[in-house]
Amino acid sequence: MHLNTLAGRSYNDLMQYPVFPWILANYDSPYVDLSDPKMFRDLSKPMGAQTPGRLVQFVKRYKEWDDPHGETPPYHYGTHYSSAMIVCSYLVRMEPFAQHFLRLQGGHFDLADRMFHSIKEAWTSASKHNMADVKELIPEFFYLPEFLMNTNNFDLGLKQNGTPLNDVVLPPWAKNDAREFITRAQNGAGVRLRVPTPPRVDRSDFRKNATIGFINNFGQIPKQLFKRPHPAKKCGGGVVGNQRPYSSILDGGGNLISALGGNGDRNVMQSVGNLVSVGFGGGDKEKCFYHGVDLLRPTATVVKELKGPVGQILPLDNKPNSILAVEQNKALMGARSYVSWGFADCSLRVCHVDSDRPTLICELTQNVDWNGEVVACAVANEKIFVTGQTNSVLCVWELSQYTSNTNTPLLANNTASYSNIPSITLKSSLHGHSDAITCLAVSSAYNIVLSGSKDRTCVIWDLARHDFTRQLPVHEAAIDAVAINDCSGELASADGCNLRLWSINGDPLALVDTSMNSSVHSTVLCIAFSTLNDWDGENVVVTGSTDGIVRFWSLAFVQDRGGNVESESDDESCRDKDPDKDEDEFEEARKREINIRKRGSLRGSKSEGNLSDDGGFEVLSEREIAGAFALAPGCVWKRELCFRGKLTLHTSYERKDNLEPAAITSLGVARDHKSLYVGDARGRVYGWSVSDSSGGGRADHWVRDEASDSCTGCSVKFTITERKHHCRNCGQVFCAKCSRFESEIFRLKILKPVRVCEPCYVNLKGKVTPAT
């Protein structure tokens, strides 16, 4: 986007719309193999030179060009890689671009066969077959799946084979899911194209209109940024700028209503020898907490302890385990102050973090919209925050400092302002719920507010316009927690034990019962996202519940026959719901999956307590899906929230060795994603991070030393000479004799032999233990 801005391109000008390059070149494979150079387009060449035969034709045109009038010099391409017509044809399924397309087309849609209807055909046309087509992509290919879907139900006509034109046909590796199609790329070096435009333009209206029409259809020469080749990229993965493409929100009719931006690391295409790989800036993968859920180790002591239940955790960048934490009924407004509520005088108070002394007290009893109690608050930045009240109203407040007494905005306490005295201004009141507000979340990156209520609904609000955007479908119970992913824009809501995931435009993505059909009912109290890189397939949604357990979930594709796959509790990725159909083929596909299960990259668990190496299932990588178990007959790909792991030490009620269990009330993710902070109802904050050494440090599933006074295997009593030892696999406490075995534990990514008990050794090695 930086290059587009420097070239004078803008979202406000269809003739100079931002350009992104084609990155992938394989639209036939059922999976994307990022280690295969053939998967990628050659970014060193323009679209006209992607195939040798096509390049020869363009060179031949240039050499054999002969203009008898001498007005038009030789050229390679007769059209640009971007124009208003190309942009509108890509975005024709969305408003307001559909209207722009109709105006360019004289009031009607183009012939169905000539419109943008297939990713594969668009690529082959621009790279191989059509000499008049060298178009590149637009940013929407990298962040907006809605433009690929005909949500407005436009009548786009019929193709010559009788097929109606509707949603864009996606490649097989997208699994018929527009969100799965999103790819990552960096702008490539282009060449300055030559268009046969006369150097002298007659200023008459006729010639002027003709020139504008020509530019709309064929494009305009942009500013040339580079006059020499790009320097070679260094290995190791860097970051190009800090800006990610704009993201958009659609209204109920699928119309583009606002473009909202944010910051985030971008990916860099690298070429290392003959291997094309993808490097990503912004973190050490081996140290990110969500890449090693099974390797997380807690801090030796409590990171921070508060007087009441933890309400918010804000990790700082200064040093490891440096955080700010406040109790419930408080919300941090940066690192120096917080806003608090819930007082008997119905006031909002802005207090200093270090001293807890209020710097501003604002009584709300005289406000016209005030006849309820503040029960939730979310902070957008150091000046703007939103409160939710028992009367179902949301209020947007601004913390400001006035310099005069004239033209004073309406103050929340309805008092006059004085020079240089901070005050709180009520910016807007938002009405959309029918019962008390229960929870709030704000995203400054997307300028939206997500509110949950006792009326079992969630509402998305536009924070910039202070307006209603849309309401999510009704939940089964009152909303207990909401969260917004600042990187991808995904929304999460929890009602009871149900965790629901939504797109920023309100489309349901997945639903999971976090209790995993347990007899003990638990309620989700807090939700957090991993947001380091939105492209990472191992990203997690983290939930904290009343049972004291922190759970990790990841989106993954599973095969569904009938729409009732429960990947968290079933050993099969695709279960046969109709035994009379394709039973043999289906069973064969299932067996092939099981045989290669241990090589998968994303693991689930048959049950939360199952820690054996052979008791769970694994969601396989793209290559394994394509080669080992293809889509079974009668199945479809379905996106599911798969269980990744859990944290139970210190807080879980199900562990007898936890002396003071407590509900999880707050979660905090470090900015570098190397640590996860967990706050509970007792006011304690614990830190979790990936262990530096393989198998070192206390793991979550280890039984506490003080909870066991005898060996789990032989029941011998522990003494000063008979020490306690933990099995690294199951976590139970054994004597030295019963834990004398060693084995790798691939499930925990422990590649060197470590101490294990005899039963685990048998399971891991698959052989009988040596005689003693």
Comparing 61-70, 107-116, 403-412, 677-686, the range with the smallest average pLDDT is 403-412
Three-class SS of 287-339: HCHHHCHHHEEECCCCCEECCCCEEEEEECCCCCCCEEEEECCEEECCCCEEE
pLDDT value at residue 760 = 87
The sign one gets for the Cα dihedral 567, 570, 573, 575 is negative
Would you say 486 and 615 are in contact if contact means Cβ atoms under 8 Å apart? no
Please name which of 744, 771, 770, 768 lies closest in space to residue 756, comparing C-alpha atoms. 744
- pLDDT tens-digit map of 53-64: 888 888 888 888
* Other beta carbons less than 10 A from residue 277's beta carbon: 16
What is the phi/psi pair of residue 95, to 5°? -90, 150
What is the phi/psi pair of residue 268, to 5°? -125, 125
* Other beta carbons less than 10 A from residue 660's beta carbon: 10
Residue 253, in any domain of the structure: no
pLDDT value at residue 283 = 42
**Triad 464, 470, 475: Cα angle to 5°:** 130
Rounded average pLDDT over 44-49: 86
Residue 297, in any domain of the structure: yes
Q: Tokens in use for 202?
A: 């007659």
Residue 22, in any domain of the structure: yes
Q: How far is it, in rounded angstroms, from Cα 509 to Cα 499?
A: 11
Q: How far is it, in rounded angstroms, from Cα 667 to Cα 337?
A: 20
Chain CA centroid to CA 342, Å: 34
Whether residues 531 and 435 share a domain: the answer is yes
Rounded average pLDDT over 393-400: 90
pLDDT value at residue 2 = 84
Chain CA centroid to CA 280, Å: 15
Whether residues 470 and 586 share a domain: the answer is no
Please name which of 44, 601, 32, 36 lies closest in space to residue 277, comparing C-alpha atoms. 36
Strands 347-352 and 358-363: antiparallel
The sign one gets for the Cα dihedral 19, 1, 492, 467 is negative
The domain boundary, picked from 690, 717, 752, lies at 690
pLDDT value at residue 259 = 36
Q: How far is it, in rounded angstroms, from Cα 543 to Cα 550?
A: 6
Rg from Cα positions in the chain: 30
Grade residue 330 by pLDDT with cuts at 50, 70 and 90.
very high
| Count of helices and strands (H, E) across the chain | 9, 37
Q: Residue 176 to residues 179, 637, 639, 734: CA-CA distances in angstroms?
A: 9, 8, 11, 51
Rounded average pLDDT over 253-257: 46
Q: Tokens in use for 219?
A: 């494009």
> Does the structure show a pLDDT above 50 at 394?
yes
> Does the structure show a pLDDT above 70 at 247?
no
What is the phi/psi pair of residue 625, to 5°? -60, -40
Instruction: With H, G, I as helix, E, B as strand and everything else as coil, classify residue 765.
Output: helix
Rounded average pLDDT over 560-584: 43
Comparing 578-587, 672-681, 740-749, the range with the smallest average pLDDT is 578-587
Whether residues 317 and 394 share a domain: the answer is yes
Whether residues 584 and 710 share a domain: the answer is no
- Measured between its terminal Cα atoms, the distance across the chain in Å is 67
Three-class SS of 142-179: HCCHHHHCCCCCCCCCECCCCCECCCCECCHHHCCCCH
The rounded mean pLDDT for the chain is 76
Whether residues 224 and 292 share a domain: the answer is no
Q: How far is it, in rounded angstroms, from Cα 465 to Cα 321?
A: 38
The domain boundary, picked from 690, 722, 755, lies at 690
> Does the structure show a pLDDT above 50 at 67?
yes
The sign one gets for the Cα dihedral 313, 315, 318, 320 is positive
Amino acid at 448: I
What is the phi/psi pair of residue 128, to 5°? -135, -55
Higher pLDDT residue, 667 or 747? 667
Whether residues 78 and 224 share a domain: the answer is yes
- pLDDT tens-digit map of 602-621: 333 333 433 333 333 444 45
> Does the structure show a pLDDT above 90 at 553?
yes
* Other beta carbons less than 10 A from residue 663's beta carbon: 20
Amino acid at 456: R
- pLDDT tens-digit map of 612-660: 333 334 444 555 545 444 667 777 888 889 898 889 888 888 888 788 8
Whether residues 306 and 438 share a domain: the answer is yes
Please name which of 138, 140, 143, 149 lies closest in space to residue 177, comparing C-alpha atoms. 149
Whether residues 490 and 630 share a domain: the answer is no
Q: Tokens in use for 309?
A: 């239940």
Rounded average pLDDT over 448-469: 95
Would you say 256 and 95 are in contact if contact means Cβ atoms under 8 Å apart? yes
CATH of the domain at 63: 1.10.1540.10
Would you say 683 and 305 are in contact if contact means Cβ atoms under 8 Å apart? yes
244 burial (CB, 10 Å; 0-12 / 13-18 / 19+) is buried
Q: How far is it, in rounded angstroms, from Cα 750 to Cα 334?
A: 39
Higher pLDDT residue, 88 or 559? 88
> Does the structure show a pLDDT above 70 at 65?
yes
Higher pLDDT residue, 523 or 697? 523
Q: Residue 763 to residues 522, 751, 758, 759, 772: CA-CA distances in angstroms?
A: 32, 16, 9, 6, 18
Please name which of 203, 288, 280 lies closest in space to residue 236, comparing C-alpha atoms. 280
Strands 550-560 and 541-545: antiparallel
Residue 662, in any domain of the structure: yes
Whether residues 76 and 94 share a domain: the answer is yes
Rounded average pLDDT over 719-738: 85
pLDDT value at residue 750 = 74
Grade residue 562 by pLDDT with cuts at 50, 70 and 90.
low
Domain that holds residue 578: 560-638
Q: How far is it, in rounded angstroms, from Cα 533 to Cα 267?
A: 9
Residue 771, in any domain of the structure: no
Q: Residue 228 to residues 10, 192, 224: CA-CA distances in angstroms?
A: 24, 12, 11
Would you say 475 and 456 are in contact if contact means Cβ atoms under 8 Å apart? yes
pLDDT value at residue 701 = 66
Please name which of 561, 588, 591, 557 lies closest in space to residue 574, comparing C-alpha atoms. 561
Residue 555, in any domain of the structure: no
Number of domains in the chain: 4
Higher pLDDT residue, 328 or 240? 328
- What's 282's DSSP letter? S
CATH of the domain at 371: 2.130.10.10
Q: Residue 418 to residues 339, 404, 405: CA-CA distances in angstroms?
A: 21, 6, 6
pLDDT value at residue 323 = 92
Strands 741-745 and 256-263: unpaired
Whether residues 86 and 150 share a domain: the answer is yes
pLDDT value at residue 220 = 61
Q: Which helix (H) or strand (E) holds 492?
A: strand 491-495
Whether residues 545 and 571 share a domain: the answer is no
- pLDDT tens-digit map of 103-152: 988 888 988 888 999 999 999 999 988 888 889 999 888 888 889 999 99
Rounded average pLDDT over 476-483: 95
Would you say 573 and 593 are in contact if contact means Cβ atoms under 8 Å apart? yes
- pLDDT tens-digit map of 754-765: 888 888 888 887
Instruction: With H, G, I as helix, E, B as strand and everything else as coil, classify residue 646.
Output: strand
- pLDDT tens-digit map of 154-196: 999 998 888 899 999 998 888 888 888 875 433 333 422 333 3
Amino acid at 696: G
Whether residues 510 and 397 share a domain: the answer is yes
CATH of the domain at 727: 3.30.40.10
Residue 600, in any domain of the structure: yes
Comparing 26-40, 426-440, 445-459, the range with the smallest average pLDDT is 26-40
> Does the structure show a pLDDT above 80 at 319?
no
Residue 262, in any domain of the structure: no
Instruction: With H, G, I as helix, E, B as strand and everything else as coil, classify residue 722.
Output: coil
Q: How far is it, in rounded angstroms, from Cα 286 to Cα 290?
A: 9
- pLDDT more than 90, % of the chain: 30
